[in-house]
Amino acid sequence: MTGRNVIPLEAIKIACQNCSLSALCLPMALTPEDVIRLDSIIKRNRPLHRGDHLYSEGEPFEKLRVVTTGSVKTYSTCDDGSERILGFHLPGELIGLDAIESNHHRCSAKALETTLVCDIPFDQLEKLSHQIPSLQHQLYRLLSREIGHETEILMLLGKKGADERLATFLISLSERFKSRGFSATDFFLSMSRYDIGNYLGLAVETISRIFTRFQEVGLIQVERKHVQLLNLALLKEMADGNHHKSRSHRGCQSK
Amino acid sequence: MTGRNVIPLEAIKIACQNCSLSALCLPMALTPEDVIRLDSIIKRNRPLHRGDHLYSEGEPFEKLRVVTTGSVKTYSTCDDGSERILGFHLPGELIGLDAIESNHHRCSAKALETTLVCDIPFDQLEKLSHQIPSLQHQLYRLLSREIGHETEILMLLGKKGADERLATFLISLSERFKSRGFSATDFFLSMSRYDIGNYLGLAVETISRIFTRFQEVGLIQVERKHVQLLNLALLKEMADGNHHKSRSHRGCQSK
DNA sequence: CGAGTAGTTGACGATTGTCAAGATGGGTGG
DNA sequence: CCACCCATCTTGACAATCGTCAACTACTCG
């Protein structure tokens, strides 16, 4: 119509039915016909660019989002204006679940790179989940999973030292990439060192120093955003704190 | 029957309909008749004593619990055998939500004092929520609220110093007691200093020292488990980090 | 090509953990 | 009812980790 060889967005519209992420995402455990019903309420978006907001703190909550390609960070703004990063989100991950309670967003979400996102209007999803028990169950499970995630964060920030935190972070990314079919040992960090430090509760300088040290001892290979994990087993040990000089265990006493 | 003046447990059985916690709990936003239906699947328990387990990590998940009287701590056990406290739970709070995903408990729950608990079989609750849309919605909201709670923890452990952490902890308790009709400025801590330190990611000694210092400057009055908040406004400022010498802000840089 | 952002490295200090010793109180058994 | 004991809590001295400040380098993007 308008131009030559312009592929209309509609043409590349992907449906849940043939989306490679469906095993990680909401359609998991739904029958094919239910997936089609789910698909009918989902809207696919134009690509977002690095720095674009998916939504901002305080905005009314209308829909959940699923990252399709790329990555997203969620953060909340402190009283002093600085931000506190809540998480990094890879393809297949649902964002916005914390907004259901109050019907408005409690944090902001921003694309870390060129990113595709699906929108799921929550009121429609809720109605649909009322008709499809397995969808309801799946939603309960996804919400529950998110709650279970808190445990890991508490471990990370409550008792781990800086080395263990970064090791844990790298292992977590590695496993998430792996389950998405990417390399578990060779990947790019879409977030800055500032973001990593903020997320892990450490100063940027500390992140930088640990990257350097991990590289010196042959644990990893880093060049800017590009990371290679050279000794996954050892890195996992470090992440669990099982490595050499048994580290400080803040407030670790039990009873 | 068996004895003299023994009040049978059945006689003091309380129903959701006349439970003072219903405004904080699942019945919130349900019609009276739906509350009765909900009530029919809920089982009230014998009292638990200090140290009794509600459930343990790894056990199959069957029911959610609501604290009715007393208090409970949830914790998960680390590789090294020490425990990591995940939260303290007051009357009206739902426990076990993290177990829905995998159908088995990911943490343990233990009574901190003499405690009454209601059991809600989850499979029945799920079925009922499928019949009562407002119950389904309420469950989504409760799960979402728990997820939003993670934000506060991240703030607490990620950027706050020791003073701010303890101040935040006290303010949180204060507000939760207040919304339950208890004094916001005069209460008893059911958990040990060890537990507080563990929860806040600080050493017991640090907790002890801060309690002493807060008392010296007239912020609070502490005697063993008994705490009085003498300057709620100032304590809130401290909790938010808005107080005098602007504190360290670990990894606080934004971008 | 220039400017600004992101990242690195070093020196120093503050906060908080660790170790050790002592105080306090509650619970239990005689 | 008292005494002892053990767990909890407190306090002090010291050390370690990690944050802060500052300078410098290296990209990236107009």
Distance of C1' in C18 from CA in B170, Å: 26
Residue B247 placed within a domain: yes
- Yes or no, beta carbons of A82 and B253 under 8 Å apart: yes
Say what the pLDDT of residue B15 is: 79
- In a shared domain, residues A236 and A110: no
Over residues B161-195, the pLDDT tens digits come to: 999 999 999 999 999 999 999 999 999 999 999 99
Asked if strand C contacts A157 at the CB level, meaning under 7 A, the answer is no
Say what the pLDDT of residue A250 is: 56
- In a shared domain, residues B24 and B128: yes
The answer to whether residue B6 scores a pLDDT higher than 80 is no
Q: Kindly give the pairing relationship between strand A108-111 and strand A220-223.
A: unpaired
The residue from B138, B157, B176 where one domain ends is B157
The tokens of A79 are what? 């009283």
Q: What is the mean pLDDT of residues B198-216?
A: 96
Residue A2 placed within a domain: no
- In a shared domain, residues B110 and B229: no
Say what the pLDDT of residue B80 is: 80
- In a shared domain, residues A113 and A72: yes
Percent pLDDT > 90 in chain B is 73
pTM equals 0.89
Residue A3 placed within a domain: no
Residue B2 placed within a domain: no
Q: What is the DSSP annotation of B106-160? A: SSEEEESSSBEEEEEEHHHHHHHHHH-HHHHHHHHHHHHHHHHHHHHHHHHHHH-
Residue A49 placed within a domain: yes
Say what the pLDDT of residue B29 is: 82
The residue from A157, A178, A209 where one domain ends is A157
Minimum CA–C1' distance nucleotide for A205: C8
Picking from A86, A80, A201, A192, the residue whose alpha carbon sits closest to that of residue B250 is A201
Over residues A134-161, the pLDDT tens digits come to: 999 999 999 999 999 999 999 999 999 9
State whether residue A226 sits within 8 Å of chain B by CB. Answer: no
Residue A1 placed within a domain: no
- Yes or no, beta carbons of A144 and B101 under 8 Å apart: yes
Percent pLDDT > 70 in chain B is 89
Say what the pLDDT of residue A3 is: 45
The shortest CB-CB distance from A251 to any of B98, B201, B240 is to B201
- In a shared domain, residues B134 and B25: yes
- In a shared domain, residues B222 and B105: no
The answer to whether residue B109 scores a pLDDT higher than 90 is yes
Nearest chain B residue (CA) to A108: B151
- For A223, how many CA atoms within 13 A lie in the half-sphere containing its CB? 1
- In a shared domain, residues A88 and A153: yes
CATH of the domain at B245: 1.10.10.10
The residue from A157, A176, A208 where one domain ends is A157
- In a shared domain, residues B176 and B148: no
Say what the pLDDT of residue A23 is: 80
Ranges of chain A with pLDDT below 70: 1-13, 243-255
Expressed in percent and rounded to 5, the helix, strand and coil fractions of chain A are 40, 20, 40
Determine the structural domain holding residue A22 and report its residue range. Answer: 9-157
Asked if strand C contacts B244 at the CB level, meaning under 7 A, the answer is no
Residue B198 placed within a domain: yes
Q: Which residue has the higher pLDDT, A14 or B140?
A: B140
CATH of the domain at B23: 2.60.120.10
- In a shared domain, residues B26 and B95: yes
- In a shared domain, residues A102 and A15: yes
Say what the pLDDT of residue A247 is: 43
Q: Which residue has the higher pLDDT, A7 or B108?
A: B108
Residues in contact with A156: Cβ distance below 8 Å, sequence separation at least 6, in sequence order: A164, A165, A168, A200
Q: How confident is the model at residue B244 (pLDDT cuts 50, 70, 90)?
A: low
| Cβ atoms of residues A173 and A185 within 8 Å | no
Give contacts of B245 with chain A, Cβ < 8 Å: none
Q: How many domains does chain A have?
A: 2
State whether residue B53 sits within 8 Å of chain A by CB. Answer: no
State whether residue B111 sits within 8 Å of chain A by CB. Answer: no
| Cβ atoms of residues A187 and A223 within 8 Å | no
